[in-house]
Structure 1
Amino acid sequence: MMKKIVNFVLHLLNAYNDLKIKYKLIAIISIIMLVCLLFTIVGFQYAFKSYDEQIYRKSSQVLIMSSNQIEDELKNIEELSFNILKDNTLQTNLMKSKEEITNYEQYQIESEIWEKLTSYIGNEKYIQSIYLFDQYGREYRAGRDNSEKIDKYKSKLFKKSIAGDGSNVWVSFEDSSNLIYSTRQIKAYKNLSFELLATLVIEVNLDEIVKELPREWDGQEGGIIISNSERPFYLENSILNYEQLIFPIKNSQGYLIKKEKGRTFFITYSKSPYADWTYWNIIPFGAMFAKVTAMKYIVIIIFLLLYSGAIFLAIKFSKHITNPIEKLVSSMKSVQKGDFNIPESIKSNEYNFHNEVGILHNNFYMMIDRINELIKENYEKQLLIKDTEFKALQSQINPHFLYNTLESINWLAKINNQQKISNMVESLGYLLRNAISIKEDVITVREELEIVKHYVTIQKFRFEDRLNFEIEINEQEMDCIVPKLVVQPLVENSINYALETMIECCQIKVMVKKVKNDLHIIVEDNGIGMDKDRLENVMKGEYKSKGNGIGLKNIESRIKFVFGQEYGLTVESKLNVGTKVILVIPYRMRWEYA
């Protein structure tokens, strides 16, 4: 099971990773909004639960106050019945009614009893009528007109009073939901005979009592219901089917929510030990929760509006990101296929802004423009190279002709025993071949010194004894590598700037030696040297040399290009003392470089 869940989560993650950016943004916003909605719902549920408890406590307090007020009034009536029970006038007249008396005496008894009962009923506004029934069935009444329900339930009231054995008993009937009856037996207490004199019945109007109760929800439909262990016997408003109000009550107090006739009601109940009654306070659910329900709908509407707005903004925002990226991807696919011609309208107008997407567009199109320039430049260079190769092929005739001519002069000099001319011609031919050859840029020190020797051979014919040239090198340095034609220009510079300016003999010395892991090639002369300013201009490449030779700056650039920036040359010179040029290159053999 756990494996299936993991696989499902991985599948969702893979599906999410494959989504486009705008759909990912919509999914993220939807998840965030749903999480917020979930927390809102949980918070509302907690708040509603707390609100229910607050309402229950308030309703319970009101219900208890109402039940206490009802019971206080009923206890007053119960006390009134006890006062009637022990009233001397009533006791005396009821005792007389048992004797043989005349009609006039009976009339007097009835009048006195009526007056007494009327005095009692006059102090209680909730009592409708007071009845006394003696042993002979005679009825003594005070209050309103005779109630038909008394005649109907007289026998039941007598039975209840007998069961009470002198104590007060409260009796209710199904068809008299607004009336309740207090009944008890009246016994003679004179001489402690406790002889039954009459049955007392007090008819009480519960509606009048309930009207005086405090209301929790003024102006709202609701009401009080009172039930005993058998059934509800008082219903203030017929908003519920009271026959279904017999619920299994586990606690003495509580609340419940009940639906009846398509409506929902909030019901609190409280069980009273007095007469074993249960009081019910019924309030329409809408009366209490109208604002809460409205708030629920408002929150839902606000959430839907926010969600719609967030999705709209997400789509709008994502288009500003994804549309340029999709255009960029389309352009990249075109470039991938070899089409580097991007319309100028796309490159310059549509996404000319300075955020990340705009920078990406600008850099990409700048790259395409640069690639186009490089392609064009490379194409032109290739044409130039082809043209140069063709011209070089054509020019092969001239060097061959020159070599052949020099060879003829050499043989002619040898035939005529002109050894000096022969040596000069051979050295010149060697120099020309090495200068024109482009096969190798890096040669051995041995090969470089051979070029220098041939160059010096030609110069010796010119300067004779004025040039004293010397090479100092060990055999192990002969196979080290050096860029081609870096030593010969230095010797040429010594001849041009030292030897030509001197009358006496010029000493030019080439030394090659190993220093740690480097190879130092030193060209030293005893010429007139240079002052500090001229030396600085020479090192900067600002000093104009004689002819079109290779300058020191060019030699240093070649060394750095071949071996790295840490290598190069330095010049040491003192006026009227001489000049020393030191080339520093890595100590490498030919096979190591290859």
Structure 2
Amino acid sequence: MKKIWFRIVNFYKNAKLNVKLLLTITLIMVATLVLVLGGLQYAFSLYDEQIYAKSSQVLMMSSNSIEEELERVEEVSYNIAVDPYIQKILLDLQENVEGYDFYRLEQKMGDALEKYIDPENYIDSIYLYDSAGREFLAGDSSNPIQQKDKELAFSQADRYEGKNYWMELAGNNGDLISVRLIRSYGNLNFENIGKLLVRVNLNRIVSDLPKPHGEIAGNIVITKGDEVFYSENGMDDFKEYHFMAQNAQGYSIEDIHGERTFVNHITTDFKDWTYWSLIPFNMMFSKITAAKYTLVLVFMLMFVFLISLGFNFLRKITDPIQELAFTMQEVQRGDFQAVNLLNPAMVDEGEVGILYRNFITMIHRIDELIQENYSKQLLIKETEFKALQAQINPHFLYNTLESVNWLAKINQQEQISSMVEALGHLMRYSTNFNQDFIIFEDEIEIVNSYLTIQKYRFDDRIDFQMDIPAYVKKYKIPKLILQPLLENSFKHAVEPSVDLSVIKLQAYQEEDRLLIRIEDNGPGIDPLILKKVKEGQVNPKGTGIGLNNIDDRIKLYAGEQYGLTIENLSGKGTAITVVLPVQTG
């Protein structure tokens, strides 16, 4: 962690001025944004608690209203069970009446039950069963109770022995049944004479509740345990959501079907039901969310504005400094003309302007000193070059004259004419000190003249191969570079050998460098010996200045990164590579 922190601090210290500005303003804005968002989040949490308190109050009032209505239904159920007229009918039905007598009692029972069907009590239908299990119905008969629900209701009625029991009908959203055992009270024997089922429409009770409008108006769901048996907006939306109340009262923000929802719940003593209030979060906090995003947008706009203002303010300082730093780098690379691009008139008269003008004055003075010293060095190098040029090995001239003499005496043929012509061509180029650089194509003419003479001398013992691209022929090179290298190959490869000697001359370009390579299949030259010759540690055979002369000339003309390299081809000959800068002008 310390290393990371050290790297961050070091990066900030070494960063440019505009980068430091960006980082500083960004840090300030981010810190401010974090503090504001933290305060907003705290305010939102307080707002959540207020919403929870309000929604809990509404939910409590709703649950109390629902339970009050259900208690009224319980009261109606009790009144039916103890109604003397209904009890008398149930006792008469125990005497195995049939036919018309049963029909008459059935009509009486229906009329008695109809008196208790009151829309204000939210009772849909009343089912009464005598001791023989015969059913008497009053109210809505369009949705009868399933047989399995009847059997469960009968067992619960026997279990509670006359007390009321509320049973939820599975598969029916909000349908409840008040179950009660009817016992005889006339002679106080408490004989079981029937069972009473009162069907209540819970959805009608909930829909008639006074509900708030706006943010805290949501969907009411009622569960028993973790099973949902009623939802105000239908049961389909909560098939995959698991309602589990860990506390008797609380709230949370849940993801229901991909939508954030404010969920508030309260558990009552009435049948251990849990009432849930589900309010879409986006609907409840739409205004707050809009305010939050608006605030973030304002901060982002302020951030951009401050960054722009800061950069515009400091550009007058940073841009001249950066331009000055760039010019210094160009001067460091050797381009003293880059200082002419600086315009002191565009800079204020402050510290930066003084730095501008002093730097320009200093560079002009340095450039004058360099030009003066450079002229002196050029004169010295030109003198050295003329001295080196005058030291061309006369060994070739002696051998050529010897060959001409030999041909003249022995053969007396016209070949002498061509040899003398080639020799004259070579002599003219080698003794012309007025032209130091020639195009590659002219240097090849010198090579051809040299080869003309050597072919007469060595006859069929020479196989010369040349690969020069057309574009290379237009490049300029120092004069008399190739001929001394070929002379070196003839001296060390062709003369000592009686077999066929192969000499290859090729040229190619790599980026901005021109490479000329000459290979032979002679015995090779040990580079260590050549190095010792150049350093004066070994006395060379002959003059020993051929290759050194070329290498020195190239370095004087192009620089130390150019020159000759010698490669011993492991007993298969020698390869000499000349590295020159590409020059067309």
Query: TM bucket by the smaller chain?
Result: 0.5 to 0.7
Q: Which residue number corresponds to residue 98 of structure 1?
A: 94
Distance in 2 separating the partners of 1:102 and 1:27: 99
Q: Is the counterpart of residue 154 in structure 1 residue 145 in structure 2?
A: no
Change (3 A) 1:342 1:228: closer
Q: Deviations over 1:427-473 (max 9, x none)?
A: xxxxxxxxxxxxxxxxxxxxxxxxxxxxxxxxxxxxxxxxxxxxxxx
The one of 42, 53, 57 equivalent to 2:49 is: 53
| Contact 1:131–1:200 (Cα < 8 Å) also in 2 | yes
Distance in 2 separating the partners of 1:250 and 1:344: 77
| Contact 2:211–2:217 (Cα < 8 Å) also in 1 | no
Distance in 2 separating the partners of 1:156 and 1:344: 100
Q: Is the counterpart of residue 177 in structure 1 residue 173 in structure 2?
A: yes
The one of 20, 23, 27 equivalent to 1:27 is: 23
Q: Which residue number corresponds to residue 254 of structure 1?
A: 250
Q: Which residue number corresponds to residue 479 of structure 2?
A: none
Two-structure CA RMSD over aligned residues (Å): 3.6
Q: Deviations over 1:294-333 (max 9, x none)?
A: 3333333333322222222232222122123445667999
Q: Deviations over 1:195-225 (max 9, x none)?
A: 1111111010111011022334559995221
The one of 108, 119, 127 equivalent to 1:112 is: 108
Distance in 1 separating the partners of 2:249 and 2:231: 19
Q: Deviations over 1:111-167 (max 9, x none)?
A: 332222211112634110111100112222111125332545221111111111100
Q: Is the counterpart of residue 302 in structure 1 residue 302 in structure 2?
A: no
Distance in 1 separating the partners of 2:4 and 2:46: 39
**How big is the shift at 1:31?**
0.7
Distance in 2 separating the partners of 1:344 and 1:232: 82
Q: Which residue number corresponds to residue 209 of structure 2?
A: 213
Q: Is the counterpart of residue 227 in structure 1 residue 223 in structure 2?
A: yes
Q: Which residue number corresponds to residue 275 of structure 1?
A: 271
**How big is the shift at 1:259?**
2.1
Distance in 2 separating the partners of 1:261 and 1:329: 61
Structure 2 matches for 1:77-88, cutoff 5 A?
77-88=73-84
Distance in 2 separating the partners of 1:239 and 1:51: 30
**How big is the shift at 1:25?**
0.7
- Structure 1 residue matching 2:285: 3-state secondary structure: helix
Q: Is the counterpart of residue 122 in structure 1 residue 148 in structure 2?
A: no
- Structure 1 residue matching 2:271: 3-state secondary structure: helix
**Equivalenced residues, count:** 364
Q: Is the counterpart of residue 76 in structure 1 residue 76 in structure 2?
A: no
Letter aligned with residue 305 of structure 1: L
Letter aligned with residue 319 of structure 2: N
Distance in 2 separating the partners of 1:161 and 1:239: 28
Change (3 A) 1:21 1:169: same
| Contact 2:127–2:198 (Cα < 8 Å) also in 1 | yes
- Output the TM-score relative to the length of structure 2: 0.55
Q: Deviations over 1:330-389 (max 9, x none)?
A: 79999999x9x99899444x235xxxxx43256568989999xxxxxxxxxxxxxxxxxx
The one of 308, 314, 336 equivalent to 2:310 is: 314
Structure 2 matches for 1:455-466, cutoff 5 A?
none
Q: Which residue number corresponds to residue 199 of structure 1?
A: 195
| Contact 1:133–1:140 (Cα < 8 Å) also in 2 | yes
**How big is the shift at 1:254?**
1.2
- Output the TM-score relative to the length of structure 1: 0.55
Structure 2 matches for 1:411-490, cutoff 5 A?
none
Q: More displaced, 250-259 or 167-176?
A: 250-259
Letter aligned with residue 180 of structure 1: L
| Contact 1:179–1:204 (Cα < 8 Å) also in 2 | yes
Structure 2 matches for 1:322-401, cutoff 5 A?
322-326=318-322, 346-348=343-345, 350-352=346-348, 358-361=349-352
Distance in 2 separating the partners of 1:261 and 1:230: 18
- Structure 1 residue matching 2:211: 3-state secondary structure: coil
Change (3 A) 1:261 1:368: closer
Distance in 1 separating the partners of 2:76 and 2:83: 10
Q: Which residue number corresponds to residue 259 of structure 2?
A: 263
Change (3 A) 1:367 1:257: closer
Q: Which residue number corresponds to residue 572 of structure 2?
A: none
Letter aligned with residue 351 of structure 2: L
Distance in 1 separating the partners of 2:361 and 2:116: 117
Q: Which residue number corresponds to residue 379 of structure 1?
A: none
Change (3 A) 1:70 1:364: same
| Contact 1:220–1:287 (Cα < 8 Å) also in 2 | no
Q: Which residue number corresponds to residue 133 of structure 2?
A: 137
Distance in 1 separating the partners of 2:93 and 2:254: 55
- Structure 2 residue matching 1:177: 3-state secondary structure: coil
Q: Which has the larger radius of gyration?
A: 1
Letter aligned with residue 317 of structure 2: I
Q: Is the counterpart of residue 12 in structure 1 residue 8 in structure 2?
A: yes
Distance in 2 separating the partners of 1:24 and 1:119: 88
Q: Which residue number corresponds to residue 33 of structure 2?
A: 37
Q: More displaced, 87-96 or 228-237?
A: 228-237
- Structure 1 residue matching 2:169: 3-state secondary structure: coil
Change (3 A) 1:111 1:367: same
Runs of 5+ consecutive residues of structure 1 not aligned to the other structure = 353-357, 372-594
Letter aligned with residue 27 of structure 1: L
Distance in 2 separating the partners of 1:344 and 1:256: 68
